[in-house]
Amino acid sequence: MKKLALAAAIGLISASAFAAQGDILARFRVINVAPDVSSDNTLSAINTDVKSATVPELDFTYMITNNIGAELILGTSRHEVDSKLGNLGKVSVLPPTLTLQYHFAPDSATFRPYVGAGLNYTHFYNVGLAAGGASLDVKSNSFGPALQVGADFPIGKNLFINVDVKKIWIKTDVSVASSGANLGTLHIDPYVFGLGIGTKF
């Protein structure tokens, strides 16, 4: 009986030692950024589309309490832009995103789900877009909401597998570089599917 109680106590201590207040969780994911594109004006008329991209991502979660964490998501992707006129070129997107998460079972030894909501700031750079021989410009900055759902699956004392899905709202205005003529607003609004490994500090 004493041995059983001791084993249970050790298990409880081991479980509660994970994802506690003050801990930092670091995750390295491979993500697929899958744009859910819509547009207006000329961009809509030429059926502008943004292709998906698969890239690495790094994020850090600080546990404010045992259940509440703040996550900073860092990654960048480069996307091809197509239309019925043909390929328009490529543009890079840097969308650092901050979410406030609720962790439902931070002490679980098998399954730790969470949800999150927050804000993303997106910077467009390395723009290489053109249509009909004319270079295109995009508005460099975008702010929008972000939603998140995911789970950690422990595989060791301080290691876990992570799966994560986000919806991020991103948009930019596109114009002709030489004249400034506005071609419309491009809503990229991607779903971001991630799979990776994490650890605790």
Give the number of other Cβ atoms within 10 Å of residue 121's Cβ: 14
- pLDDT for residue 5 is more than 50: no
Greater confidence, 113 or 157?
Answer: 113
- Record the tokens describing residue 165, joined without a space: 């899905």
34 class by beta-carbon count within 10 Å (0-12 exposed, 13-18 middle, 19+ buried): middle
Q: What is the DSSP letter of 107?
A: T
pLDDT at 175: 96
- For residue 9, name the pLDDT band (cuts at 50, 70, 90): very low
Strands (E), the chain: 24-34, 38-39, 49-50, 53-63, 68-75, 77-83, 86-94, 97-103, 112-131, 134-138, 141-154, 159-168, 171-176, 182-187, 191-200
Q: Averaged over 83-111, what is the pLDDT? A: 95
Q: Averaged over 22-47, what is the pLDDT? A: 96
**Mean pLDDT computed over every residue of the chain:** 91
pLDDT digits (tens, 9 = 90+) for 37-55: 999 999 999 999 999 999 9
Of 132, 147, 142, 113, give the one whose Cα is nearest residue 177. Answer: 132
Domain at 2-200, CATH from 1.20.1260.10, 3.10.310.70, 2.40.160.20, 3.40.50.2000: 2.40.160.20
pLDDT at 18: 66
- pLDDT for residue 107 is more than 90: no
Q: Confirm if 145 and 169 have CB atoms less than 8 A apart.
A: yes
Q: Averaged over 102-116, what is the pLDDT? A: 93
